[in-house]
Amino acid sequence: GAVVSQHPSRVICKSGTSVKIECRSLDFQATTMFWYRQFPKKSLMLMATSNEGSKATYEQGVEKDKFLINHASLTLSTLTVTSAHPEDSSFYICSARARASLSLGNTIYFGEGSWLTVV
Amino acid sequence: TQLLEQSPQFLSIQEGENLTVYCNSSSVFSSLQWYRQEPGEGPVLLVTVVTGGEVKKLKRLTFQFGDARKDSSLHITAAQPGDTGLYLCAGFKGYNQFYFGTGTSLTVIP
């Protein structure tokens, strides 16, 4: 089946530094990728939606300059948390929607998530 | 205000009991999906409901899509400790925005 790989799974960074999280669709082309943020025992909050080759669409309240999203190819999207602060510590999950096909349909596939801790 | 509101937010029950989780919205959805998520992992798709009034069964889980396609429910019969997890409904708003419900954290006590 389709697989979405997210890396790193865990990262600790110092306050003020930037950290990049990658989201790759391993065996399919992802026309759209979604980035979510999740707090413990809470739901996934959509941060932004990105389409390959175009600028990401951010949800209201999400700082574009802080959470940089790049969708450079049909198999890779990256989320860069710039000038990270402890309040940015969270679980970040990406997902990818496959290009509609007979085998994959229009399904959303999720990465394993990335724990970010800012100290 | 969230697009998809779930209730209850937290649920703790004894093994063997039945439970229902609700997912409500003021918007119409072309389809809704239900996921289950373990801590520190990505959500796992349980079912997709597409047709208003549709009922789908997955072993002890029964999913229903409201006639107006604005709400859905998940019913678990004879809950087991292995059912413990975060249950999430989700759906597309328009073509490109995929939103999750507020979530229901279920704990089944042996």
Contact A49 B96 (CB under 8 A): yes
The whole-number pLDDT of residue B92 equals 82
Mean pLDDT across chain A = 90
Contact A115 B40 (CB under 8 A): yes
Helix, strand, coil fractions of chain A, as percent rounded to 5:
5, 55, 40
Mean pLDDT value of segment A103-113 = 76
Is pLDDT of A101 > 60? Answer: no
- What 3-state class would DSSP assign to A10? strand
Q: How far apart are CA A32 and CA A100, in angstroms?
A: 11
Nearest residue to A97 (alpha-carbon basis) of B42, B38, B39, B97 = B97
Backbone angles phi, psi at B80, to 5 degrees: -120, 155
The whole-number pLDDT of residue A96 equals 92
pLDDT tens figures, B12-70: 999 999 999 999 999 998 889 999 999 889 999 999 998 999 999 999 999 999 999 99
Q: How far apart are CA B8 and CA B52, in angstroms?
A: 23
For an interface test with B, which of A25, A44, A116 has the most B Cβ atoms less than 10 Å from its Cβ?
A44
Q: Which residue has tokens 């085998």?
A: A103
Contact A49 B97 (CB under 8 A): yes
Is pLDDT of A1 > 70? Answer: no
Contact A93 B45 (CB under 8 A): no
Structure tokens at A62: 């999400």
Chain B residues with CB under 8 Å of A89 CB are none
Residues β-bridged to residue A23? A6, A77
Nearest chain B residue (CA) to A59: B97
Nearest chain A residue (CA) to B5: A43
Chain A residues with CB under 8 Å of B10 CB are 41
Is there a contact between B104 and B9 (Cβ–Cβ < 8 Å)?
yes
Is there a contact between A61 and A45 (Cβ–Cβ < 8 Å)?
no
The whole-number pLDDT of residue A60 equals 93
CA atoms within 13 A of residue A71's CA, in its CB half-sphere = 23
The whole-number pLDDT of residue A100 equals 61
Is pLDDT of A40 > 90? Answer: no
The whole-number pLDDT of residue B31 equals 87
The model's confidence at residue A106, banded by pLDDT at 50, 70 and 90, is low
Q: How far apart are CA B79 and CA B75, in angstroms?
A: 10
The whole-number pLDDT of residue A68 equals 96
Q: Which residues from A are below 8 Å from B when comparing CB atoms? A: 4, 6, 32, 34, 36, 40-46, 49, 51, 57, 91, 93, 95, 97, 107-108, 110-113, 115
The model's confidence at residue B101, banded by pLDDT at 50, 70 and 90, is very high
Backbone angles phi, psi at A14, to 5 degrees: -85, 150
